[in-house]
Chain A
Amino acid sequence: MKAAVIVFPGSNCDRDLADAITKVTGRTPAMIWHRETSLPEGLDFIGVPGGFSYGDYLRSGAMAARSPVMQAVIEAAGQGRAVLGICNGFQVLTEAGLLPGALMRNAGLNFVCRNVQLSVANTQSVFTSHYAAGEQIIIPVAHHDGNYVADAATLDRLEGEGRVAFRYAEAVNGSARDIAGILNAEGNVLGMMPHPERLIEAEQGGTDGRRLFEAAMMALA
């Protein structure tokens, strides 16, 4: 699997994501700076990492979504390349219009940083095929703006089309319908607030994140 990780000023999970991809696939991803206007040839997988891109100025992800490299990411997504946005990466993908809805300040106003239980809601995508339907997994979250918001028609469509990938199995941030991660209509773009790249090896306290990258590697390699 040929992968790239996008790096914005203020990204701080880019190296964790690159490390997870390297450990699972055996290949080191290319790190792509936000000023780039094109991506390497033949990419299978693009990671948009967590962090505080551009200091969360204006809105979380708003500036990053309009940076030069995101035009290339939008094009690649349109060509069917797998795109995974984690945490701030999810915020960037919604701001860029690759995923519907928006991520607002957590309902409790607190920054939430802990392991949370998730329920797997989609097992058909390139990212989720190694999980069982309804499986409960533990993945950490670390965010202030993770409260997923969309209008009722959009939420109905996401649920009706099986595009909710993960739900919170406990109260975390006030997200509409407990949504923790969603897919685009084609299933090749996933945005999620929890951090699967942080649970790749037992030494990290669990391996529930590893299967996401394994599934992508098996589907895309």
Chain B
Amino acid sequence: MPPAMIVKVTVTLKNGVLDPQGRAIESALKGLGFDGVAGARVGKLIELEVAEGTARETIEAMAKQLLANTVIENFRIEMP
């Protein structure tokens, strides 16, 4: 097996898509006395262990075909 590298794919909701979990977090933070929170959005972080040298295009294809639903979500890829 070739040496592995960790690629991070962050999946976030598109602007304008209602995020009730984010709203709940925002109001819970206010309930704890943190008044400076104007908004909260919940996303996902997916860490992939892939072979060193895997092309960004391959990760993008993974994100488009499965990791994100591009109807409602954006994704961001971080490679080492």
The chain A residues found within 8 Å of chain B, CB to CB, are: 58-59, 62, 66, 94-95, 100-102, 104-109, 147, 149-150, 174
Contact = CB atoms under 8 A, between A and B. Distances in A.
B67 to A, nearest CB: 7
Interface residues of B, number: 11
Contacts of B71: 94, 100-102, 149-150
B18 interface: yes
Secondary structure dominating the interface of B: helix
Nearest to B46: A58
B53 interface: no
Given A58-B66, A104-B18, A147-B20, 8 more contacts: A59-B69, A66-B65, A94-B71, A95-B69, A100-B71, A102-B72, A105-B21, A109-B20
B18 A107 contact: yes
Contacts of B20: 105-109, 147, 174
A109 B23 CA distance: 10
Contacts of A62: 66, 69
Given A62-B66, A66-B66, A174 B18 contact: yes
A66 B66 CA distance: 8
Contacts of A95: 69
A147 B66 contact: no
Contacts of A100: 71
B24 interface: yes
Nearest to A150: B71
Contacts, number: 35
B47 to A, nearest CB: 14
Given A62-B66, A66-B66, A147-B18, A109 B72 contact: no
A66 B72 CA distance: 18
8 contacts: A58-B67, A66-B66, A105-B21, A109-B20, A109-B24, A147-B20, A149-B72, A150-B71
Contacts of A105: 20-21
Contacts of B21: 105, 109
A160 to B, nearest CB: 19
B72 A104 contact: yes
B29 to A, nearest CB: 16
A66 B65 CA distance: 9
